[in-house]
Structure 1
Amino acid sequence: MKSIRVTIQLSVLLLLSMSQLMAQPTVLISYYSKTGNTQAMAEAVARGASKVEGITIVLKTVEETTNEDLLNAGAIILGSPVYNANVAPRVQEFISSWPFEGAPLKDKLGAAFVTAGGISAGEEVTLLNMLQSMMIFGMIVMGGDDWTAPFGASGIRGEPPFSGDEPLREAFLEKGEKMGARVAGVLLKMQP
């Protein structure tokens, strides 16, 4: 009888701890990266978001991300390289596959980040394209943590002085970290 009671108590504790984990708000960071630059920015965004306690972070490529991931997230941060002043085709295909009927993404937070080959090569236009897509889905969009990143985070990799074999500069990655932390912090504040 005592062992049954202990088993029941342990089962209840396990269920309670599982429900607390499941109840944590989730930040989904989904990205496409061909050369690794956008992946580096995605990892920086995830580092920033992980600094906020009480948040679950999910980091996946757009190919790995499912509709269930989108529906389970309280915030979706989307990343793309800049292709001809627009999102990469794989990112556009991903956005076009999002569930629309019944507005299941409505009132989720949304933010974006990009990496580009050159200065003034379409970073802000691409960020705005992603944010506009999120607005079509009824999401609440936000940018970085101050006036220097109002549309999100971006990094430049292909034009001097930001070229060569070196990785994305720390200043760009820091903008990604700050945006990730801001989105996670706002999501946490929105919880009941």
Structure 2
Amino acid sequence: MKIFLYIFTFLLLHCTISAQTKHQVLITYYSETNNTKVLAEAVAKGVQAIEHINLVIKTIDSTTEQDLINADAIIVGSPVYNANPAPEVLAFIKKWPFKNQPLKNKIGAVFVTGGGISSGEELVQTSLLHSMMIFGMIVIGGNDWQSPFGASAITNEANFKEPVQNHFLLKGEALGKRVAEAVLRWNKH
């Protein structure tokens, strides 16, 4: 009977600890004019809508290699610079750990902000997604066909002026939620 009680207690504790395990989503971004930061906060709101997820949100200059390794998902944000990611974001990715593939099988996603319509948002998104694929990450896009490569916001053309409009914030939120849900599905035991 004692052995049964020990086994039962062990299994009960193990199941309780496993049920409380939180997976980690890292949002890391570079923002010069605050627009990318605002979109990062919307993505974070989506992540926080899902239970059992621990959110870490940092600028790229404060993100460490250990932050990347500890994350189950990495969401990178960049402004659009001449249809390219910001140089600071490229330099950041260039420093990611490659030896022994510590980022392999992590979920990856991206969000960007650009000044105008057709000013390179999708080019920047796919560039960042390609980088993640080189590291063996599993990349996902936005919530529907209107955000296939992630979330983006236009901030300085026609009706799309600063601050970042709600339409784009909702896309960011949907991306964060989708990533968090994917982390839970991918890490099911």
TM-score (norm 1): 0.87
Residue 62 of structure 2: SS of its match in structure 1?
coil
Where does residue 163 of structure 2 map in the other structure? 167
Where does residue 131 of structure 2 map in the other structure? 133
Give how far 1:189 is off.
Answer: 1.4
How much identity, in percent, do the aligned residues show? 56
Partners of 2:167 and 2:83 lie apart in 1 by: 22
Residue 156 of structure 2: SS of its match in structure 1?
coil
Where does residue 88 of structure 2 map in the other structure? 90
Partners of 2:118 and 2:59 lie apart in 1 by: 26
Give how far 1:187 is off.
Answer: 0.4
Partners of 1:133 and 1:47 lie apart in 2 by: 25
Partner residue of 2:73 out of 54, 68, 75: 75
Q: How does 1:16-165 map to 2 (within 5 A)?
A: 23-163=21-161
Gapped runs of 5+ residues in structure 2? Answer: 1-12
Partner letter of residue 187 of structure 1? V
Partners of 1:24 and 1:94 lie apart in 2 by: 26
Partners of 2:42 and 2:159 lie apart in 1 by: 21
Give how far 1:158 is off.
Answer: 1.1
Where does residue 181 of structure 1 map in the other structure? 177
C-alpha distance after superposition, 1:14-36 (max 9, x if no partner): xx87x876x31100000000010
Residue 63 of structure 1: SS of its match in structure 2?
helix
Runs of 4+ in structure 1 displaced over 3 angstroms? none
Give how far 1:162 is off.
Answer: 1.1
Partner letter of residue 118 of structure 2? S
Where does residue 190 of structure 1 map in the other structure? 186
Where does residue 7 of structure 2 map in the other structure? none
Partner letter of residue 132 of structure 2? M
Partners of 1:46 and 1:74 lie apart in 2 by: 15
Partners of 1:138 and 1:115 lie apart in 2 by: 25
TM-score (norm 2): 0.89
Aligned residues: 174
C-alpha distance after superposition, 1:136-180 (max 9, x if no partner): 0000000001111000000000111112xx410000000000000
Partners of 2:182 and 2:80 lie apart in 1 by: 27
Residue 61 of structure 2: SS of its match in structure 1?
coil
Partner letter of residue 178 of structure 2? R
Partner letter of residue 27 of structure 1? V
Gapped runs of 5+ residues in structure 1? Answer: 1-12
Partner letter of residue 164 of structure 2? L
